[in-house]
Amino acid sequence: MKKLTAALALLAFGSFAGAALAQQQKSHLARIQETNLLRVGTTADFNPMTFRDPASNELRGHQIDAANELAKELGVKVEFVLTDWKTLINGVVADKYDIVMTGTSMSVARAKSAGFTIPWGRNAFFPLVQKKNAHKWKDWADLNNPKVSAGYNLGTTMEQFVQANLPKATPRRVESPARDWQELLAGRVDFTVASLIEGAFLTKQYPDLQLLFLDRPKNSIPMAFVVPIDDQVWMNFVNAWIVIKKQNGYFDDLNKKWARLGLGPGPQLPVRKLHVHRHAQRLLHVPGRVDEELEPVALGVVEVDRERVAVRRRTQLLHLLVDQAPVHLAQAAEFRHAK
């Protein structure tokens, strides 16, 4: 009798443990479908990716639109969970949300703890300064000086970039929800490192700010969504969704929309369509070429004819053309390709 009781207890424990393990291993995809809810982590402080509209107090932006589209195709509701850059990855690990959609750049440090989907776009870094001080610095190396102060938000790839590439600059660490560019506007730092995406909108909203070295971008990195590192089923689904949406032109249309819509007053970005031509038979004869499929880099132009071209340096991919020089990335020199 005692043996039977022990056996039943062991069986019950095994069933309980198995159920608990199965619950623990259930994919976010299955749970989203069961609960009819997609939980999206977002910072709401990265215009035009994700921000709160001061008029309606509603969340808006490129990534908010993408999150709503993902939820619509899943057939579920969406819940936006506000987070900040410093705790962004911790929220994924702690299962506070199913996915991060906030304009996140890929980094090795983040990839140690969370999973990245395939990229949906690319970004690049430039110094952001007060226009009246722009003449002081001629190159990135000029910023790597203890007499120059750099502002950055904790937990961002900008923080990692400054620490790795401009270690001599005097740091001013900024805690969210405050932003580094606010320190710049207040004159408490000499520069911040801005992504092209946000920098273009900040210089539009605040004419006293200026991006430097537009022909010398740094840290050109892919942008992706963040998901739990151990949920391959959910990651596979989101990856497939990204591929489908890129192929059917959804992300192209979304990029165009948010390239044309700015925050606050001011004209629309004076950008035009970039036509790139190639001679395929000559690509193999370009020494040191880098074959790339062009895209509207960081929303810097309205549209790019997607053709594979060969260039001698990756930074040449950022040498785009615009109608007026004072805007952002495309202010750089002419774009070169295989002739």
pLDDT in tens, 52-87: 998 899 999 999 999 999 999 999 999 999 999 889
Q: Please indicate whether residue 336 or residue 195 has the higher confidence score (pLDDT).
A: 195
Using one digit for the tens of pLDDT, what is the confidence trace for 206-238? 999 999 998 888 888 889 999 999 999 999 999
Does the structure show a pLDDT above 50 at 117?
yes
pLDDT-derived band at 286 (thresholds 50, 70, 90) equals very low
Q: Which whole number is the average pLDDT over 314-331? A: 33
pLDDT-derived band at 255 (thresholds 50, 70, 90) equals confident
Using one digit for the tens of pLDDT, what is the confidence trace for 142-186? 999 999 999 998 888 889 899 999 999 999 999 877 889 999 999
Domains in the chain with CATH codes: 30-120+225-260 (3.40.190.10), 124-221 (3.40.190.10), 280-331 (no CATH)
pLDDT-derived band at 1 (thresholds 50, 70, 90) equals low
Does the structure show a pLDDT above 80 at 36?
yes
What is the per-residue burial (b if ≥16 Cβ within 10 Å, else e) of 161-172? bbeebbeebeeb
Q: Is cis: bond before 287, omega within 30 of 0?
A: no
Residue 185 contacts residue 209 (beta carbons within 8 Å): yes
Q: Model pTM? A: 0.63
Q: Please indicate whether residue 187 or residue 201 has the higher confidence score (pLDDT).
A: 187
Does the structure show a pLDDT above 90 at 46?
no
pLDDT value of position 24:
53
Max mean pLDDT among 2-16, 91-105, 254-268 falls in: 91-105
pLDDT value of position 48:
87
pLDDT value of position 201:
80
Max mean pLDDT among 88-102, 194-208, 215-229, 280-294 falls in: 88-102
The Cα–Cα gap between 56 and 51 comes to: 11
Beta bridge partners, 59, equal 52
Tell me what percent of the residues of the chain surpass a pLDDT of 70: 69
pLDDT-derived band at 204 (thresholds 50, 70, 90) equals confident
The Cα–Cα gap between 85 and 49 comes to: 14
Residue 132: name the closest of 170, 184, 93 by CA.
184
Q: Which whole number is the average pLDDT over 117-133? A: 92
Give the mean pLDDT of the chain: 76
Does the structure show a pLDDT above 80 at 33?
yes
Tell me what percent of the residues of the chain surpass a pLDDT of 90: 51
Does the structure show a pLDDT above 50 at 281?
no
Burial tier of 5 (Cβ tally within 10 Å: 0-12, 13-18, 19+) = exposed
